[in-house]
Amino acid sequence: MHVETLEWAGGRPGHVRMIEQTLLPGRHEVIDVATVEEMFAAIRRLAVRGAPAIGVAAGYGVLLGTQDLAGASGDEVLARTRATCERLAESRPTAVNLFWALNRMRTRAESEHAAGRDGDAILDALFAEAADIHAGDRDTCRRIGEHGAALIQDGWTMLTHCNAGALATGGMGTALAPIYVAHEQGKRVSVYADETRPLLQGARLTAWELMQAGVPVTLITDNMAGRVMFEGRIDAVIVGSDRIARNGDVCNKIGTYSVAVLAARHGIPFYVAAPLSTFDPDLAHGGLIPIEERAPEEVTEGFGSRTAPEGVAVYSPAFDVTPAELVAGIVTEVGLIERPDTARVEHALALGGRLQTAG
């Protein structure tokens, strides 16, 4: 059984309860997030991370910023909603689900306001919208899992990079969802997990949650991936994504591109699992995706122990882009986009009702 990474607690007024992921695997601690600034900080410091989970957290963050306005006018609620969305949008620049969820919340408030609803009615609508974002993510993860499990043969060993499991979503995960469903189906499936430098999401999070679910997992350092492929230990690679361009170029945690190149060299299929909300149809190709850079200290003294000389220059992009030509398929809630290109991505987006947002 997979873990639950976050939930809304306490009704109205309420707060968000979430696993503090920066403490895993040493401590499994659940924290309460009760204000917009606390949510901003939680997203920024990676207490909650993974594109879909960030989207769910953002929806709930809007509730944290508006729920004290019971009895206020519609104008006041709309103004606060917009201000809250603007603040939360500053927390992370790359994960498109953040902006997708905030846009849903802002658009819902604007629609209700335009229809002449009073402040309390707009608040009701915002609570319903945030709950729908979370419920929709759970359903999407399950459907990704079922579509992806069909690709996994009994006895296969998968390799994954970073964490795209239940800890990264509001449901059972993206990249790990097919593995969980295959495991439920009785298939013998095991996983090699890259540790994922510099913040070790694979070591700290993926290995932990797979062990919690009873899925056999072996941890390796990032620079061992080529060796285990060369030894014939890997049948397929599956990773998540934080943003996918219209042509199928995939942005994911730094190091993913290297894994894709290695997989291509060894004739191993490289799959991506992501909801349609992760696609950015306004970006024609991956070169247009903004890449977040993280603090040098995450490399030079990660987890409090200095591992590099004082004053050394550091370049620390958090993500890289894998060209669509290296991707065997993208598993979405509407099915597999095989050998993704612009036409195939546009077809999937049209099926999911997302193409109309394209510029």
Provide the CATH number for the domain around residue 345: 3.40.50.10470
pLDDT band at 1 (very low <50, low <70, confident <90, very high): low
| Residues taking part in catalysis | 242
Q: Indicate if 114 and 169 belong to the same structural domain.
A: no
One domain for residues 36 and 161? no
Is residue 111 scored above 90 in pLDDT?
yes
Q: Which residue has the higher pLDDT, 186 or 49?
A: 186
Predicted local confidence at residue 51, as pLDDT: 85
Same structural domain, 193 and 282: yes
The beta strands (E) that lie in the chain are given as 6-9, 15-19, 30-33, 157-160, 190-194, 217-220, 236-239, 243-245, 250-253, 270-273, 279-280, 319-322, 329-332, 335-338
User: Is 152 in the same domain as 31?
Assistant: no
If asked whether residues 167 and 126 sit together in one domain, one would say no
Residues 289 and 164 in one domain: yes
Instruction: Give dist(CA 5, CA 167) in Å, integer.
Output: 5
Q: Which residue has the tokens 């104008």?
A: 75
Alpha-carbon span 189 to 179, nearest angstrom: 7
Q: Is residue 1 part of a domain?
A: no
198 in the same domain as 319 = yes
pLDDT at 2: 74
Phi-psi region of 230 (alpha: psi -120 to 50; beta: other; left: phi over 0): alpha
Q: Which residues contact 71 (CB under 8 A, 6 or more apart)?
A: 119, 120
Residue 353 has pLDDT above 90, yes or no: no
Tens digit of pLDDT for each residue in 6-40?
999 999 999 999 999 999 999 999 999 999 999 99
pLDDT surpassing 50 at residue 359: no
SS3 for 162-201 is: CCCEHHHCCCCECCCHHHHHHHHCCCCCEEEEECCCCCCH
* pLDDT band of 304, cuts 50, 70, 90: confident
Instruction: Read off the CATH number of the domain in which 39 is found.
Output: 1.20.120.420
Q: Are residues 135 and 206 in the same domain?
A: no
Residue 85 domain-assigned (yes or no): yes
pLDDT > 90 in the chain, percent: 93
Q: Which of 113, 142, 171 is the last residue of a domain?
A: 142
Calculate the alpha carbon distances from 191 to 143, 228, 354 in Å. 21, 12, 32
Q: Is the dihedral of CA 108, 351, 330, 339 positive or negative?
A: negative
Q: In whole angstroms, what is the distance from residue 8 CA to residue 1 CA?
A: 20
Torsion of the alpha carbons at 153, 157, 159 and 165, rounded to the nearest 10: 70
What average pLDDT does range 215-229 have in this prediction? 98
User: In terms of domains, do 352 and 281 share one?
Assistant: yes
What is the C-alpha end-to-end distance of the chain, expressed in Å?
A: 41
Q: How far apart are CA 227 and CA 344, in angstroms?
A: 33
Q: Is the pLDDT of residue 253 over 50?
A: yes
CB 36 within 8 A of CB 69: no
- On the question of a cis peptide bond just before residue 317, with omega within 30 degrees of 0, the verdict is no
Shared domain for 168 and 306, answered yes or no, is: yes
192-224: b (≥16 Cβ within 10 Å) or e: bbbbbbbbbbbbbbbbbbbebbebebebbebee
Please state whether the predicted TM-score (pTM) of the whole model is above 0.85. yes
296 located within any domain: yes
**Are 182 and 311 members of one domain?**
yes
Q: What is the pLDDT of residue 66?
A: 98
Task: Kindly compute the dihedral angle of the four CA atoms of residues 303, 305, 310, 314, in this order, to the nearest 10 degrees.
Answer: -30
Question: Could you tell me how far CA 303 lies from the centroid of its own chain?
Answer: 23
Do residues 127 and 239 both lie within one domain?
A: no
CA 8 to centroid of chain Cα atoms: 18
Give residue 159's domain range: 144-357
Domain tally, the chain: 2
pLDDT class for 357, splitting at 50, 70, 90? very low
Query: Which pLDDT band holds residue 355 (cuts at 50, 70, 90)?
Result: low
Instruction: Find residue 217's DSSP bridge partners.
Output: 191
For residue 19, the tally of other CB atoms under 10 A from its CB is 22
In a domain, 235, yes or no: yes
Average the pLDDT over 281-293 and give the result.
Answer: 96
252 falls within a domain = yes
